[in-house]
Amino acid sequence: MQTVAAALDRLGELAASPTVARLAAAFEAGGHELALVGGPVRDAFLGRPVSDLDFTTDATPDEILAIVKPIAEAHWDIGRAFGTIGAKIAGETVEITTYRADSYDGASRKPEVVFGSSLEGDLTRRDFTVNALALRLPQLTLVDPSGGVEDLVAGVLRTPATPEQSFGDDPLRMLRAARFSSQLGFTLDDDTRAAMSTLAGAIERISAERVRDELSKLLLTGSPRGGIRLLVESGLAERVLPELPALSLEIDEHHHHKDVYEHSLTVLDQAIDYEVSRGNLDSPDLIVRLAALLHDIGKPATRRLEPGGVVSFHHHDVVGAKLARKRLRDLRFDNDTIAAVSRLIELHLRFFGYADAAWSDSAVRRYVRDAGEQLERLHILTRADVTTRNRRKADRLGFAYDDLEARIAVLAEEEELAAVRPELDGQQIMALLDVPPGPVVGEAYRFLLELRLDEGPIGADAAAERLRAWWAARGPAA
């Protein structure tokens, strides 16, 4: 947290930049107010990088367009219905929004847009006091009607209005509270936390797409664990991601197993560490983090109490993959993300057999083939899934996975393993067997693929000879 003087100096430097200075001059010349608002002002106080430039004004969307057109390289009005105009000015992208006074009618999934008349009124309708800060331009006057600077110093999230009113106006703000608690490392004040629990059911008024976006932003923070805990403890997770609180399985005195909920949070933490340290993915990676958080959601449905105090979760990988696919589909995630996350969950146990007995080259090839494009993410998830406090066991698993990755690298160099495919394609199969397109071609292709996985590259001539032998043994009429 920077001092007020240091933050104002940073904001002064920002206001002097070509983009902000040009905008401020244009709005002043047009007889309208303009203020830098929200995240950029907050981050100046926190010493964080300022990326997005958000402005607010008393000008209507039409008036905003008239002001920015002469000075913008490009402009767009996709958010016009909500009072927002976007533009690119002096090489930077900005958004300018008319003063707002949104409210919900208690039933609609979208806010009713009502334009406001003052900067102070606009700020008091925002989600949290730390985001209800503005810098009037070009005067460089800080506007803080709700004590946001004091809350920044204290590291507290609090709503400008009562939390009941704020969350009633937009229930999505409860999810934003969880996200900002992780993103900023802040705690919620008692009234705000209590209101989240009381009003948790109101989140069902919010569209799945908005919930999805906010959950994704939470997972993409540097340390999402605290925000996830807040969702579970408030009851919000029960409404938007019920598989998560279900991981808190009852543990009786006779049957012992690790706390699956705590284990999942630890796996998420460790997956983030691997994601960053390995450096093979663009970080943050949403697919890795979703898979880490959800990898054991099949356990509640498969939990069995066995004789001798053992708890089993047979096939929880397969069940979990199905549950994840359904939940992510309900949250309107895209098909590629759904497929990737569910595949990782389905495969996350595959490695543990390797630690007990080294695999053949054939088994290693199958591991790579089945992972496909998700291989690096599977490496991360599998390593992160080792949370045992038994150092000898953890080291044994770590060394085993090091060995597996080394073997994959060697085989990949020898065989172009990432693109394992039969040495004859469909056209060659049809010509060799003198068959038309149909199921038999797929059957032959699978035979050749298994041959390739079992024995590695044997050459097209040898593959053709083996295919003829398979065909003769199978019989065309089979």
Can you give the pTM of this predicted structure? 0.82
Amino acid at position 156, single letter: V
Token readout for 65 is: 């367009």
Looking at the chain, the whole-number percentage of residues with pLDDT higher than 70 is 92
Beta-carbon-side half-sphere exposure of residue 473 (alpha carbons within 13 Å): 8
Amino acid at position 4, single letter: V
H helix intervals, 119-160: 119-124, 148-154
The structure tokens 């706390």 sit at: 259
pLDDT tens by residue, 296-322: 999 998 888 777 777 778 889 999 999
Is residue 334 packed enough to be buried (19+ CB in 10 Å), middle (13-18) or exposed (0-12)? exposed
Judged by DSSP in three states, 132 sits in coil
pLDDT-derived band at 252 (thresholds 50, 70, 90) equals very low
pLDDT tens by residue, 43-98: 999 988 887 899 999 999 999 999 999 999 999 987 888 889 999 999 999 999 99
Report yes or no: 417 and 333 within 8 Å, Cβ to Cβ. no
Which domains does the chain show, CATH number per domain? 1-149 (3.30.460.10), 155-240 (1.10.110.30), 260-419 (1.10.3210), 426-474 (no CATH)
Residues in the chain: 478
